[in-house]
Amino acid sequence: MTETITTYEPDNSLKKGYLSIFSEIFNELKKNRWLTYQLFRRDFFALYKQSFIGVLWALIIPLVSVGTFIALNRSGIFTIGDINVPYPIYAILGMAFWQLFSTGLVASSNSLVNAGSMIVKINFSKKSLVIASTGQSIISFLIQFVLVGILFVYYGTAPSIAILLIPILVIPIMLLTLGLGFILSLLNGVVRDIGNILPVLMTFLMFLTPVLYANPTAGILATVTTYNPLYYLVSVPRDLILMGTISEWKGFLTASILSVIVFMVCLVVFHLTETRVAERI
């Protein structure tokens, strides 16, 4: 048996240079696949074991939000805008993509803090912890898609064949979620304010992004939307499913590249500084 030699010294990764960092990260992720899966499984089952409706909880938030918007629209308080598909399909689909980001980010940014007692006692891959915590939002996403399927049948319409591209189209938003999750979980480990502000920030961002309403054509919100990468990451996959065409592929491409960059940078930062967390958490 060949013995692995491990060394611990201050600023260890810096001495090795940036190039070897990527292979180090890759090897660690590969080696810990099973651990990541087990952690995900634990979170998943633990969440729903002592619950009557179990995974169907994933439907509650989108249904309540969409219901509220329909009610507001009907009573003329709020105009949803011009949408040429049944609104519930549009909104639930939007919420599904949006929640992939929002619940994933909230969960991952809390992942290190929640496992604090474990982190200070056992040495294991903290990246697995962060990645596993976003698994829950993926399960919710899948369940919400079942609801979308039911709605399609109910309204007698069919999605575009491009729905098959969904697994690829969600990659950018997931990379963005993970990347931000890495860095925020780290900061949350040191400064707890992050975990408190994030859910509030998510609600604010959701209303700022055309998830539950149509893309505004004028006003300050229209300008904001143009520069909002989340808008492209949510609405382009949705448009593709509903209409089968992409009108804003440039924005989507830019947002995707941005997501990849965010992911890479945050992963490297996390790798370089994760050893700092155990002593501060």
Chain residues in the site for other proteins (CB under 8 A): 3-14, 18, 34-35, 38-39, 41-42, 45-46, 49-50, 115, 117-124, 186-187, 190-191, 269, 272-273, 275-276, 278-280
Residue 252, CA atoms < 13 Å, CB-side half-sphere: 17
Q: Which is nearer to other proteins, 50 or 75 (CB)?
A: 50
Distance of closest approach, residue 180 Cβ to other proteins, in angstroms: 15
CB closer to other proteins, 57 vs 87:
57
Question: Is 141 in contact with 107 (CB distance < 8 Å)?
Answer: no
Smallest distance, other proteins to C-beta of residue 246, A: 36
* Pick from 180, 177, 172: nearest CA to 237: 172
Q: In whole angstroms, how close is the CB of 80 to other proteins at the nearest point?
A: 40
Q: Do 205 and 228 form a contact (C-beta atoms < 8 A)?
A: no
Which of 164, 265 has the CB closer to other proteins?
265
Minimum CB distance to other proteins, residue 233 (Å): 25
Shortest Cβ 10–other proteins spacing (Å): 5
Compare residues 119 and 198 and give the one whose CB is closer to other proteins: 119
Nearer to other proteins, 39 or 66 (CB): 39
Under a CB-based contact definition with an 8 Å cutoff, are residues 261 and 174 in contact?
no
**Amino acid at position 65, single letter:** S
Tell me which long-range contacts 73-82 makes (C-beta under 8 A, separation of at least 24): 78/213, 79/213, 80/212, 80/213, 80/214, 81/210, 81/213, 81/214, 81/215, 81/216, 82/214
